[in-house]
Structures are given as C-alpha cells and as structure tokens.
Structure 1
C-alpha cells in the first residue's frame, strides 16, 4: 500500500488581541449556583440570522459595506481564542488517543479530545518509525531497533518557514509551516499606500512508500494563517484565518477606488504535482499553481462580525488526491475550533460596550463606559460526506478557555464559560456557567453562578458528566450532572489548594488533574510548584482527592498546562508522562522564582490510588550548567525535551538536538541519534 505524507505550509500575518475582561448579562443569580431550563428572555443577544446567501460578488461586497457601517462595529468586534489552550461517543472517549494501524498496536498515540478525530502534533509513530518535526525539518527515524536508531530521510523547508505539528496514520502525515509574507500594495485616494501582507497555507501530499525518498504527489493552497486542523479518516479539514486590515478604508463609501473581489475575499490554488512550486515564493508569485478567488456560493457572511476577519475551511481527501477540496469561507469570525465526527464549530468572542453617557461635565470619550458584555458566538459547519456546509448559529454569555470548554454529546452541545471580572472591584464579579444547547443551537438548560469571584481553569466533559475547575485562592472542582440536558445541576463539589489546568480521565472512576500548587500572601494567591492530583469520581456527589504530588518550586512550568497534546499517556502501561521545567527556591516568598534544576520528561505511575514519581529523563548535561552559562538558556535550548513516545518497552524522548531511547521500566539510556540541523 502506498504511504502518503501531507505537508501544510502557512504564514503568520497578524495576531488579533484577546480581550480578557468584564461582562454582565441579565438574569445572573448572585446567591450561588442555579440550574434548570433556559428562559429565552435571559439571553442578552440572540443570534442574528444570516442574510440569504448571495450569488454574486457585488452582493457580497454590499454586505461587507453594510457590516462596516453598522454602529455596533464601534462597540465590539469578533476576537480569536487561542488554539492551544483545546472532542467523545459523539463526545469524549475517556483517555482518547488517535487511531493507529492494527499491525503495530503497542505504541504511543497523540492525546486527543474526540475519538475518531485526530489532532496534529510534533511527533508521531506507527510502531516502527518515528516522525519528528524539529529544526525546520521533517525527519523520519527508523526505530525498529532502539539500540541502532537511524535517520532514513529528512525533508528540508525554507529558512523563512517553521513548523510545529504533523499527522500520521497508515498512509498520511501532515506538517504546518510558516512562510514569509506575500507583499501587496493597496492605493486609496486620501490614504498613504497600504503595504499589506497576505498569508497562505499549503497542503502537500507525499507518497512515502519509500521512506528514504518521500515523493510529492499533489498540493493545495488556501489564503490565511494556519489556525488548526482536524482529521477524520482520510479527510483533513484545515482552518486558516486572514485579517484583511485594508478592508476598512476600502469599505468607506467616500473613498475613491473599487473594492475588487480579489482584494475583498480569500483565494485558493490547486496543483496535481509540485512541479515548479517554490516554497520560498509568495502565493501569487509562485509558479505551478493557479490562484482563484473563492466562489460566491462558497462564501458565508456573518453579519455582525468584523468584515476584515476571514476564516477559510478546506476539507482535503489525502488518499483520493484526484478529488478537489471542499471549500467554505466565513467572513466575520476567527476563533476556537472544536470538532466532533460530524460537525466543526467555530467560536468567536463578541464584546458589547454600553452606551456612554454624560457625567459630571466630562466629554463622552472621557467617560469609562462601565461593565461590558462578552458573548461566545457559535458557528456550526457540517462535515457530512466530506462536504462543508454552514448548519447553525448560536450564542452564550461569557468567554471560554479553549476547545475543551465545548463538547457535543447525544445531539446536544455543552459549553462552559466565565462572565464578569475579578480585578476592578466593580459590581460585576466573575461567575462561571455551563450551558446546554440543542440541535438548533438554542439554549435549553444551564447551571449558572458557579464560584463567584473565580474563573475557569480547566474543563472536561465525560459522557453525561462535566468537571469544571475554577480558581482564585483555592481550587473548587465541580461535578456537573448533565443526564437531563434541560435540567443540569451541580452534583458535587470539592475545594482543595491549588488548581488543575488540565483534567484527564483514568479508568471509569478516577480523574487526573495536572496544574499548580499555590501559596497565599494575605489574600493574594501565587503559583508554586507543579501539582498532580488523583481524584475519586466514583460518586459524583462526593468527589475526593486521593493523592497529590508536588514537583519543583515557584517558576516551574509544563506545556501540558495549555497544550494537552504534550501528554504521554497509556492506561494499559500505567504511564503518565509530560515535559516539564522544574525549579528550586531557597525561600517560600512569592517574590522568589526558583533556579532551573531539571528539564525533561517527568514519568509518573499510579499504584494503589497513589501517584508515584518513577523518575525523569533529561537531555541536558546531568552536571548542570557551567558557571558562565545562563541556566535558562541551557534548559530552554536545543536539549529541552519537547515530547515523549513509546514503542513496545522502549521510551523515546525528543528534543531539537536528538532522540534518546531509554528502557521503559528502568529509564536507563539505550542509545541516541542526532537530528539533522536546520538547512
């Protein structure tokens, strides 16, 4: 069978600001958590139905002008949520791992959210080879004999491109790269020339039947900076976003100059082979590809969004390479992505400011407008049959922390949000909520008013139950009973020191929490070392903390706190491992950040309901930094371990410099192989 590699090439254009702030909404209960069916009158903002789909570019541009002239645009915009901060039955499969070929079953897999929906990461393995992105290269390493590992091939990318994620299954591998800007000059009367930069993402499909010589067989490009992607079977859906900041002056009716479809809307390009394609070129100056503006019937206008923010979805069959990708562009939103096996959701944050009023003789623009409202806008796209189609729109109060704030289960969407704020002392303290939406994305149930004054730090939905961790000075773990979608309720609550930034199921009745221990200085809480907790969730009404483990001191950190894909987990092998930087302090003061003492893969196990530290694997010099070396440069440098993987009874640790094979039980080094440096 042919093996295929798929590469994604993208360019960073602009990072939209994320407003973390205060918000209020009618119907908030200040006396504690409440639950029950949603009263439609409590919803501050009902989704605005999209206009009938236009069939010409002129109609679409008219809608853009209408969006820009909307007075509400002066009060709010759609902003993005970070992807890495984060899918089950139609919801979570506890401890989900990406699917792998049956021929090589005993190997690690990427920690994913939804069973059957793969997510990209830095390292993949098929049980024989390791596929690693490091040093601006994709390297394929023969790991069948861990004592004699060797690099069999290495794809080099242009110096101006970087990558941080790949896919792999029996026949597919995918990579994401950042190229340079494609320059564009926009000339408008009354304006200085606008020097614009366009972004694009390229998907390349490689045949890797011969791993020593991968062969490019097709490529597809789409405008926009790479946001994320999901893969179901052989179809990968790539999500990109481009912010066309030149749109605003061009939508001004008083400005002379025509807003052409080429400037107003995104474009795509397809090529059956890579002949003549120069990865160093801009998308419209490169050869071998024919760029076309997205067709009007592939464009969806979201009327209350920002016309400059344009998200492009492309579903690409990486096996049937003769098929043209399915394309849909949504104008007006960029945000967090959640994907089930049937639907992809985009979630954007909308901020609504109240009307400014005259007070004490001050000008309107000198008056603080008071608490504002934030809402998470929900846009659903069906992925049925490999096609993309807009299929629903909804809204809930508050903001989310990432993809794990959402879950689709038995036809309902569950969303955990935070409203209000904790920093200004105003009369709108933060509260936390769980909303349930039906297939029409209408609110049908809610639990509101959780943990006033605190914010959500982690969420995990497992079947008919939800687990929400909030924090300000302590860590309440709430268990939410969602058996009846119209009457969700708080089943149990546990308050403990510190907080969990990531929750992971272990068996049927245990939950692992990984986050931070905290100290208190008066009423001020500060993070100390990393904290790993094991919770008993057998009885939803009485969650209990069975065991804790503190690692390092103030200044310790782990990528797992914001990227669940960095977790190496196997319940069958009783393995919990993650990269971490551990520090050591000399006092208990919140002003002292510890000096780094260890960077590597922390390896844990669970025995008799206790968390046990088995040890750690490091690539750094075990004697520590030399007297003239900056310890942070040493521990954050090329020897910093980024991921762990296993094949059989061998544990592999991967840094930019090398791969080290260690015994699974002893953690003793077996061998190492240097990774190719940047070309």
Structure 2
C-alpha cells in the first residue's frame, strides 16, 4: 500500500476548508504569497489547486502534453504527472487513485492538493481565519510500496503507458521515464510424476557447454552425455551414438510445421527442446477494400520435453506453448528457469491481445491432459519507476517432477541482458532518460542511459523478485555482470563514443542492490568490448584506437581500483579466465592506417597477469584476414575449452587477401594445445568441405550445411559437427577416424 507522507495538519485541512470560501482561498509557500491566475476550487469536499503555479514555485520544471492531456512536473529526482479527468495520478511511475480527478479551469490544470502533498511530503496547514493554505517546502524522499503494484485493468495499463510516453510513441520530455512489471505465483502440481525416473546413463568423460557460471547450464544447439550426441539442425534433431567404434545415427526428431527449434538441454534422461513459431494475421478484422490491413506479429514459444531413457525411441511427454518470444534460460539443480518477452501492440491495445496465454499438454500412457492458463491484470505487476510497452515473462520448471505446473510470472518491462548463478538471477534493462530542451523554434531531445537491475531469487523452481538497483551506463552482455561473496559487480559504458563522451565504469552493489563501491571514468572516448569477473578481479577490454586490457582489483568492494593495464593493437570480444594468472582473449586484430585502425583477422591472445601491475600479452595468433569470422566472437557457447586437457577449439570461416583480392580459404575447426608456459600450439584442423569445394567457392556458392558450428570431445576422441554430419578425430594427433554423413 502506498506509504502516506501527509501530516496531521494536512488531513485536518481536507475537512476544515469550507466550500463557500473556494473563490477566496489563497496560497502561501514559505511565507510568500503565491500569485495565482486561477483560484483553487472545492469539489466533493476536496481542494483542487493550480498544478503549474505551485510546482514551479517549488522548483520543478513543468510540461504539458496536449494530445494526451497530461501535466507533468519533474526535477532530477522526481517525476509527477496527472491526466485531466483521469482516475489515477502518477508519482515516479507508481499510480494511485485520486479522490477527485484533475480538471482544467480557465486554461489551467487544477489537481487535488493531497496529490501534491503525497508526492513531495510538503507540510501543509490551513489558516481558517484568513482562508489561507500554508505550504512549507522541503522534499521528503518518496517511498515506494514494499510490494510491486498490480496493473489491475486495461484502463489502468493504458494510463501507465501514457504517463511513461510509451502508448502513443511520444518521447516523454522528462528526465525520468519508467518501466514496469508483473508477478504470478504457481505452487505447482502436487501430484506424483506419472513416469518412472530412469537410472542415469553410465558416466563418461566428455566436454560440456562452455558456460559463465559453473553448475549453471546454458542451452545450446548440441549436448552430449559422452555416449550420445544430441544435435539440433534446421528442421530436426539428430541423436547419434558415439559409444562404439562406429558412429551411428539412432533417432531423428522432427518438429511441427512453422516451428523453429533453437536450443536444447539434456538432464537426467530428459531432453528439453526450446523453439518458436511466427504467425502473422490482420490487426483489424473489419476493414474496407480501400484500407490495407496492418499485419500483427504473434510469436509463440514452444518447449518440448522428451523422455530419452531409450534414446533410439525418444518419447514426447510434455509440450508447453505460450505467447511471447524466448530470450534466454538457465538450468541448475534440475530446475529450468526461462525468460520471455512479449511486445504490446499499442495500436490495438485490448485485453485479448495483451494478456499472454499458455497451453500445457501432458502425454502419458496414451492420455492427453491439456491445461490452459492466462496471466490476468490482477497478477500483472509493474516496477513503479520503469515502464516499457513490453511484457517480460519468467517461468520455472521442476524437471525432477515433470508434471508440476511451472512457476509463472509476468512483468511489464523488458529484459536486455541476464546473469544467473545457483540461487540468483539479475535481469538488466536499458533505460533512457529524455530531456527536451528548446533550441530556437525546434526541440532537440537529449538523453542519458542507465541500466536498471532487477534481482530475483531462484528457489526450488520459483523466480521471486527481491530487490532493485540502478547504475549509470549500459552493460554489454551477460559477462558484464557477476556475483561474488554476496556482492554484485557490473561493468558499464556511459556516454557515446561518437561524441567522445563515453567512459567506462565498474560498480559493486550489495545484496540490496545499492551501490557500495565504484570505479568510473576508465578509457574516456572508448567503450567496453569485453568484460569478465574472476573472484576478486575484473578484466576489461575497451577499444577505439588501441586495445587497453585493464586488470581491476575488487578485494575491497567499496574501493575498486585499477591494478594495471596493457595497450596493444586489436581488441577482444570474449575473455576467458584460464587459471589464476592467465586470461585468453578472442577478438579481432587491427591494422593501423593513415585513416585510423581497420579490422584484421581473428585474434586469439594470451594475457599473463602474474604481475597485475604489468599485464603481458604472452602469446598471440591471427587467423585469416578482415572478412574472417568465428561464432565465438559473439557466442561463448561455440568455444570448446578444457584446462584439464590443455585444449581449446573454435569454428572459423577464414578468408585471405591475395593480390588485393579476398579469397575464401577455409571453413571448419582449429584445434590448439594451450599452456601458460608455451602458449598456443596448433594440434590440427577439421573441415567438412572438400578441397575442390573450397577452390570453386569463388565461382559458386558451396554447401553451407557443411559449415562446422560446434566442437566437442568424449574420451579420447574429438568431434566436429555441422548440419551435414559428424567427423571424428583422435584427440591427441587430430588424425581423422570417421565421417558420419546424415
């Protein structure tokens, strides 16, 4: 419930002001009479006062949005809005019902005096003899509700979006616009599982997906248990037995038409496939022949659960379908946590197309149990100070109890980047703060960027909001966030490189998501290209002309400091801590020219941070020329790396410059031995293309289904995978052993 900030004198004022004296009421602020061009009014026993006159006298800027009929007052800390004839007022994004609506009298907006007092906590009193309202300035900090408020209705949702400037695509001219969010709770189905849990397969030494946090799996297009490979392709999923001398494709799973499977998990004889469908339909059913119907995009996310205890005969045991676009997920301790986004169509904002719907089908012993659910307005919640015309949906599945209903939550907001460890998820949302300033007869919007951070506790398959924070700038990706010993560390870039206003920062937040330490102003004019936290250190790579590699000390969370840095050509898009004193960077080489640096080939660098004050680039490889590419540069899951095996491998597409011409030379995997003492040593390469296909590629397109996308190992063998097939090599000497073609 909204915390009341009014004083007893103000409460008494509501009763003391007589209605017959409305045209005689005067106002004083800090003892100074306020000149009014419209007198206060009494309506239904409540006093309405001039919005602009009072709040300008209190030092706030005023804006009037004529089309929306919204009056707004704001400063660096507060944003207060009221809509003419609207039932709710807005204080920093939180809506509360007004005793009487605001109204326009003689061209001026009048609002309930209670609205102003609640917004700023001003002391208000009434002098009955003089019929005088006395206001004492001095803002008290506004306190949000302890629990997130609900949207409640379509009418309130529209008003929330209007106040945020999100409903009519208008850039709100206020320093602080907002975002919102909803929460649903589902305790799950207490019924026993209808399938018997099978014994796990015999353990085998094998590679796993390269993830950010140990023990927190991330979805990918390939998974293995050491005996079987599960591989997603364009329209199907292949299950291949690699436990014997000869590889064998033992099953193929085909998916429904118009469904694209994108990622998968493998857990305890269960295969979870995540996909999506994209459907278009006219936004308005009734339209004339002279009006082109606007198509509406209605994406859905599909989750297929298979029992693969008998992998040659995978059985679909559950299908979960819901409105929205899949963003990301994590799997830890048998609990699958997911985040979706659902865009709200502002041109057809109705309850029917806003509220997401879900269908849960359970398939056991020939039966088909269908459960339908919908997120309703009374469970849809929003964060008071941040608003987007988008709905963020979170789901938690307990994979040890496959029939349990998921924990479902929805938030009026947006998820930009996500970090998760064993018990916490941090969802980051980009937020822009606009300030329209008059420049002659035109208005030029300027803005600053912050990242809003929302902390959720992950408990036994549930995802529960627990705290909110905010830091200047924006985060690059999930590796710009981290947790360690109860603190949260964030690396951001604020400002813009194109205007030379950018700078880079590291913030340390406590468990309450309040900033407790910061390091700001690194590498002015540059931006972060990669970041990685490792226990009490942070590693940053920024770039504009050269590649500064920063080593940052986080032993004292309240005082982060730079220990040392190294400036070298090129930059790293992904950093991987190899051991306590070695970091591997994957990125691009740069070549200095008279017009500035230009991109070169793929660069793999080894940074030695034994002397943290003087980091050293100990070893370096450059593959191909400027057109070369590796998926590792934007997807860490494409990297195979094993410290125990002194091994790393990555898929690459290489071009070379020959006599000023760019020539395609290779597509496949490069496999290296790695050692902090000897650096990188090439073990070998693997390609699914023939040499004639490579040679003829300049004259015609080659079969891109043969592009190697992942590299894994199991036992003494290494496998490279493409949509075309699987090639097996000896792990030690890279001798080709077998090529299975699908």
Q: Tell me the TM-score normalized by structure 1.
A: 0.79
Asked if 1:383 corresponds to 2:482, the answer is no
Query: For the residues of structure 2 that align with 1:514 and 1:77, how far apart are their CA atoms?
Result: 37
Cα separation, partners in 2 of 1:537 and 1:44, compared to 1, 3 Å:
farther
2:247 corresponds to which of 146, 149, 153: 149
| Per-residue Cα deviation, 1:619-643 (whole angstroms, up to 9, x for no partner) | 111244354x447832x70111000
Query: Moved runs in structure 1, 4+ residues, more than 6 A?
Result: 41-50, 54-57, 76-79, 187-192, 274-277
Map 1:81-92; keep pairs closer than 5 Å. none
**2:239 alignment partner, SS class:** strand
Query: For the residues of structure 2 that align with 1:138 and 1:531, how far apart are their CA atoms?
Result: 33
Residue of structure 2 in register with 1:268 after alignment:
358
1:74 corresponds to which of 147, 150, 171: 171
Query: For the residues of structure 2 that align with 1:573 and 1:213, how far apart are their CA atoms?
Result: 34
Asked if 1:166 corresponds to 2:235, the answer is no
Asked if 1:203 corresponds to 2:272, the answer is no
Query: Is there any run of 5+ residues in structure 1 with no aligned partner, and where?
Result: 1-40, 80-100, 251-258, 278-286
Residue of structure 1 in register with 2:476 after alignment:
401
Residue of structure 2 in register with 1:31 after alignment:
none
Query: For the residues of structure 2 that align with 1:327 and 1:136, how far apart are their CA atoms?
Result: 29
The answer on whether the counterparts of 1:375 and 1:399 sit within 8 Å (CA) in structure 2 is: yes
1:363 corresponds to which of 416, 434, 442: 442
Cα separation, partners in 2 of 1:651 and 1:78, compared to 1, 3 Å:
farther
The answer on whether the counterparts of 2:282 and 2:293 sit within 8 Å (CA) in structure 1 is: no
How far did residue 295 of structure 1 move? 4.2
Q: Structure 1 or 2: larger strand share?
A: 2
Residue of structure 1 in register with 2:11 after alignment:
none
Cα separation, partners in 2 of 1:273 and 1:53, compared to 1, 3 Å:
farther
Query: For the residues of structure 1 that align with 2:224 and 2:339, how far apart are their CA atoms?
Result: 24
Residue of structure 2 in register with 1:91 after alignment:
none
How far did residue 77 of structure 1 move? 7.7
**1:114 alignment partner, SS class:** coil
The answer on whether the counterparts of 2:207 and 2:714 sit within 8 Å (CA) in structure 1 is: yes
**1:369 alignment partner, SS class:** strand
The answer on whether the counterparts of 1:457 and 1:470 sit within 8 Å (CA) in structure 2 is: yes
Residue of structure 2 in register with 1:15 after alignment:
none
The answer on whether the counterparts of 1:505 and 1:512 sit within 8 Å (CA) in structure 2 is: yes
Cα separation, partners in 2 of 1:631 and 1:127, compared to 1, 3 Å:
farther
Map 1:482-631; keep pairs closer than 5 Å. 482-586=554-658, 594-607=662-675, 608-625=677-694, 627=696, 629-630=697-698
Residue of structure 2 in register with 1:243 after alignment:
343
How far did residue 410 of structure 1 move? 1.2
| Per-residue Cα deviation, 1:290-339 (whole angstroms, up to 9, x for no partner) | 43221456432134444431111110112201211101111122321111
The answer on whether the counterparts of 2:283 and 2:348 sit within 8 Å (CA) in structure 1 is: no
| Per-residue Cα deviation, 1:594-652 (whole angstroms, up to 9, x for no partner) | 3210111111112433211222111111244354x447832x70111000111111110
Query: Is there any run of 5+ residues in structure 2 with no aligned partner, and where?
Result: 1-74, 80-91, 95-142, 180-199
Query: For the residues of structure 2 that align with 1:219 and 1:596, how far apart are their CA atoms?
Result: 43
Asked if 1:106 corresponds to 2:205, the answer is yes
Map 1:638-649; keep pairs closer than 5 Å. 638-649=705-716
Query: For the residues of structure 1 that align with 2:324 and 2:177, how far apart are their CA atoms?
Result: 19
The answer on whether the counterparts of 1:207 and 1:216 sit within 8 Å (CA) in structure 2 is: yes
The answer on whether the counterparts of 2:150 and 2:380 sit within 8 Å (CA) in structure 1 is: no
Asked if 1:115 corresponds to 2:214, the answer is yes
Map 1:169-248; keep pairs closer than 5 Å. 169-181=267-279, 183=281, 185-186=283-284, 195-245=295-345, 247-248=346-347
Aligned residues: 580
Residue of structure 2 in register with 1:302 after alignment:
383
How far did residue 511 of structure 1 move? 0.9
Query: For the residues of structure 2 that align with 1:54 and 1:188, how far apart are their CA atoms?
Result: 38
Residue of structure 1 in register with 2:740 after alignment:
673
How far did residue 389 of structure 1 move? 1.2
Q: Tell me the TM-score normalized by structure 2.
A: 0.73
How far did residue 59 of structure 1 move? 4.4
Greater radius of gyration (CA): 2
The answer on whether the counterparts of 1:133 and 1:163 sit within 8 Å (CA) in structure 2 is: yes
**1:542 alignment partner, SS class:** coil
Map 1:436-515; keep pairs closer than 5 Å. 436-515=508-587
How far did residue 192 of structure 1 move? 7.8
**1:456 alignment partner, SS class:** strand
Q: Which one has more relative contact order, counting CA pairs under 8 Å at least 6 apart?
A: 1
Cα separation, partners in 2 of 1:481 and 1:56, compared to 1, 3 Å:
closer
How far did residue 126 of structure 1 move? 0.6
**2:216 alignment partner, SS class:** coil
Greater Cα offset, 446-455 or 293-302: 293-302
How far did residue 480 of structure 1 move? 0.9
**2:226 alignment partner, SS class:** coil
